[in-house]
Structure 1
Amino acid sequence: MLIKRKSIEKEESQRAPRKAAAPRKPKYSAVTLSEHDGMRYLHFGTEWIQGAMRLRKPDWIELEYVQQMMSWMLFLEQPTHVAQLGLGSAALTKFCYRQFPQTKVTAIELNPSVIAICETMFKLPPNDERLQVKEMDAYDFVNDPANLETLDVLQVDLYDANANGPVLDSAEFYRSCAACLKENGIMLVNLFGDHPSFHKNVKAMDFSFGEVVNLPELPDGNVIAIAFKQKQKFD
């Protein structure tokens, strides 16, 4: 069974003659489920696993690369605001919400079906004063002036059903991500080490972050990039 990465599908904007650009019309992949040996898996109509949950431990993080997306805990003890771009099976969202009771958690997901299935099948709690799951484009979120320098941690996992590299991967996108972080903020991005998009993404991050460190590639090919807004001094 393949365990790779998750995300949202690319969007196409349409422009009518002599009129303003038409609203974006996303083309969503089918959201499907499978279960095996006490695990429930999220798919986008393919065998690629977009998220997982152990039925007996719904708030635990099962996939190794998702566990590594929490490696910011080595550098920050008590963040005030953590955000995820790409909900997947809500593993990161649930874990941050449960384990950091003083932290605001925001998750951004474009596909309403993903949000709905996380609520019904993956034990995603309802929105409250600390938790906000928003149906919107991740690009729009990071470019919203209201989010400027508001985040301690940004976890980015944006893949579509084809898993051909992150959906958002430009230098402009990562510059906007950096702008959303506080002075000592950290961004973590799920990449795929043997894919041509890997070096493109790392190079794009280098333009806007003080330090970018890649964790060792996992057996399934995932590489977690840790991007620090400020230059770091490691022992």
Structure 2
Amino acid sequence: MLIKRKSVEKEESSRKPAGGRKPRYSPLIISESGGVRYLHFGTEWIQGAMRIRDPYKIELAYGRQMMAWMLFVHNPAHIVQLGLGTGALTKFSYRHFAQAKVTAVELNPEVISACHSMFALPAPDKRLSVLEMDAMDFVLDKSNRGTADIIHVDLYDATEKGPVLDTPAFYEACSQCLTDAGMMTVNLFGEHKSYKKNRNAIQKSFPYVLSMPKCEEGNVVVLAFKKIPEPDFKKMTETARQIKSDTGIAALKWVTELKQAIKNQ
């Protein structure tokens, strides 16, 4: 259990999403420990984290692993985040892909507010959009079809019973939103019954799916490819070194993890 040295609670919101799905908002709790600020949805479970002195760094291991698509897609034009958390991947993408449009989709308005006020999420501009809406509504919107090069999916609520959107229909809609060579990365609980259900649902909509080795937090990141990749590990190693130089992420670890994931297919 995380020691909550400081906390700020926000009242539960009663707003309903546009699609009619009734939200289950719990009070937000913000805590700090060891120079890291954490977001919780009314429990000790961590929904996201930020290193206070380095707010654009991706603090949690599974979040860094969700960026492993960088080994395959080098110049994305549009990066989408479904489920904002503390905005870690959104901020990272916004900073390190200056040519890309970045869109974050979050149902809970209090999470959006907390990200801006407590987790250094920049104000929206011509490149950054933060949409208060249901992720399902976003991916079902026909105007979003074929527009995203990358989709990050990290959709959890206070119950921690698995992703709140986990059906084949949802993942098929995500696939439809991607460009022909696009990728989706999904955060799953590795030892939870929801893992197999989600993995199977993803496989129905993507021709190639890899499960990365379990992260230190127990999460498993799934990489879903719209186009079957042809891994060149020599080139990947060179790319990983460049990623390390440009962003500070130890991307060489991804190359090793990908080899293991392919072996375990």
1:161 equivalent among 155, 158, 176: 158
With over 3 angstroms needed to count, the CA separation of the structure-2 counterparts of 1:76 and 1:23, relative to structure 1, is closer
Cα displacement (A) at 1:218: 1.6
Q: Using the alignment, how far apart are the partners of 1:82 and 1:64 within structure 2?
A: 20
* Structure 2 runs not aligned, ≥5 long: 3-13, 233-265
| Pairs within 5 Å for 1:76-115 | 76-115=73-112
Match of 1:53 in 2: 50
Q: Using the alignment, how far apart are the partners of 1:90 and 1:206 within structure 2?
A: 27
Match of 1:175 in 2: 172
Q: For 2:186, give the aligned amino acid.
A: V
Q: For 2:180, give the aligned amino acid.
A: E
Q: Secondary structure at the match of 2:174?
A: helix
Q: Secondary structure at the match of 1:113?
A: helix
**Which TM-score applies when normalising by structure 1?**
0.90
Cα displacement (A) at 1:231: 2.0
Q: For 1:121, give the aligned amino acid.
A: M
Q: Using the alignment, how far apart are the partners of 1:63 and 1:165 within structure 2?
A: 18
Kindly indicate whether structure 1 or structure 2 has the higher relative contact order, using CA contacts under 8 Å at least 6 residues apart.
1
Match of 2:226 in 1: 229
Q: For 1:59, give the aligned amino acid.
A: Y
Match of 1:142 in 2: 139
**Which TM-score applies when normalising by structure 2?**
0.80
Task: Judging by fraction of residues, say which structure has more helix.
Answer: 2
Cα displacement (A) at 1:25: 3.7
Q: Using the alignment, how far apart are the partners of 1:70 and 1:184 within structure 2?
A: 16
Q: Judge conservation of contact 1:149–1:183 (CA < 8 Å) in 2.
A: yes
Q: Judge conservation of contact 1:187–1:226 (CA < 8 Å) in 2.
A: yes
Q: Secondary structure at the match of 1:168?
A: coil
Q: Judge conservation of contact 2:181–2:226 (CA < 8 Å) in 1.
A: yes
Q: Judge conservation of contact 2:61–2:216 (CA < 8 Å) in 1.
A: no
Q: Using the alignment, how far apart are the partners of 2:96 and 2:20 within structure 1?
A: 38
Q: Secondary structure at the match of 2:129?
A: strand
Cα displacement (A) at 1:234: 3.4
How many residues of Structure 1 are paired with residues of Structure 2 in the alignment?
A: 219
RMSD of the alignment, in Å? Answer: 1.7
Q: Identity of paired residues, percent? A: 56
Q: For 1:226, give the aligned amino acid.
A: L
Match of 2:39 in 1: 42
Q: Judge conservation of contact 1:141–1:147 (CA < 8 Å) in 2.
A: yes
Q: For 1:118, give the aligned amino acid.
A: C
Q: Judge conservation of contact 2:25–2:158 (CA < 8 Å) in 1.
A: no
Q: For 2:68, give the aligned amino acid.
A: S
Q: For 1:194, give the aligned amino acid.
A: E
Q: Using the alignment, how far apart are the partners of 1:206 and 1:25 within structure 2?
A: 28
Q: Using the alignment, how far apart are the partners of 1:77 and 1:220 within structure 2?
A: 27
1:202 equivalent among 199, 222, 234: 199
Cα displacement (A) at 1:37: 1.1
Cα displacement (A) at 1:204: 0.5
Q: Using the alignment, how far apart are the partners of 2:218 and 2:37 within structure 1?
A: 21
